[in-house]
Amino acid sequence: MKGKTVLTSKQIDSFKDDGFLILENAFDQDLLSSWQTEFWYALGAKFEDDQTWPRDQTFISRWRFTPPYPNISTIPVVQSAAHDLGGDNFFGGGGAPIIKWPSPDADWSIPMSSHIDGYGGPAQHPAGGLTLGATMYLHDVEEKGGGFIYWPGTHLNVHRYFRQNPEHIDGSFLDADDWNHTKFSHGSKPVEFVAAAGTVLLWHGFLSHNGSTNVKSSPRIGIFGRWHYTKLQEMRYDILDDLWKHWSI
């Protein structure tokens, strides 16, 4: 299904303007149920029994579901959408589950600070070259339920910043005297990704985002995927007048 076009021109234009795209019902219900069962079995816990939850475990490294769909990038709709956006220039798409256990007594507020992936700790990725991200939930997530927070349109802010400060594309912007964690998200209002299980949010690698506190009763199980340039060493520090030069759109 890699070569099959699934995105409309309207969706692609929206992604270019806003830096994100939501794919409803990206998962077959049987596959989603299988992933849920496999995940909770691996934890030795049950979603419906909070006494079994291993609350000290918030991240599962090197996680893979059972083939033929070991991670989010192999889901046919996601795979085709990523190919529509990046063609053969993008590589990767894997990512580990991140758990936000309930903290019902905590105060909730939408975060004001943000970041872009691929820089700083934890060092999960080489600096630069991150092109595309994907986020989905293994179970439904409601408002204030630990959702992924993103700032629409901020991929354009980041691109503008790196054009003006090309020496900082290696991550040194984090050490700049004028740096703060609202710089890239300035002028945009944060949006909470509230979604049913199996809904996928695709986001540009330059899109500002953050996590949030879960004050609801259900754990938020986030499944993430990230793509880089296929020719990472050659292209990761490439500052382009055209943000979309290495994309297929």
Q: What is the mean pLDDT of the chain?
A: 92
248 falls within a domain: no
Domain span at residue 93 reads 9-235
Distance between CA atoms of residues 80 and 12, nearest Å: 13
212 three-class SS: coil
13 falls within a domain: yes
The pair of three-digit structure tokens given for residue 124, joined into one six-digit string:
């999960």
Count of alpha carbons within 13 angstroms of residue 69, beta-carbon side: 17
Average pLDDT over residues 108-117: 94
pLDDT of residue 123: 47
129 falls within a domain: yes
pLDDT digits (tens, 9 = 90+) for 145-193: 999 999 999 999 999 999 999 888 888 888 889 889 999 999 999 999 9
22 three-class SS: strand
Q: How confident is the model at residue 232 (pLDDT cuts 50, 70, 90)?
A: confident
pLDDT of residue 126: 56
What is the percent of the chain where pLDDT is above 90? Answer: 76
pLDDT of residue 74: 96
- Count of domains for the chain: 1
240 falls within a domain: no
131 falls within a domain: yes
Lowest mean pLDDT, pick from 3-17, 156-170, 235-249: 235-249
Instruction: Tell me if 68 sits within 8 A of 34, measured CB to CB.
Output: no
66 falls within a domain: yes
Does the pLDDT of residue 135 top 70, yes or no? yes
Q: What DSSP string describes 160-180?
A: HHHHH-GGGTTTGGGGSTT--
93 falls within a domain: yes
Does the pLDDT of residue 119 top 80, yes or no? no
CATH number reported for the structural domain that contains residue 221 in this entry: 2.60.120.620
109 falls within a domain: yes
Average pLDDT over residues 52-66: 93
- DSSP for residue 189: -
pLDDT digits (tens, 9 = 90+) for 27-50: 999 999 999 999 999 999 999 999
Q: How confident is the model at residue 8 (pLDDT cuts 50, 70, 90)?
A: very high
Does the pLDDT of residue 1 top 50, yes or no? no
Does the pLDDT of residue 121 top 90, yes or no? no
pLDDT of residue 120: 58
Closest CA to 26 of 69, 87, 86: 69
pLDDT of residue 109: 96
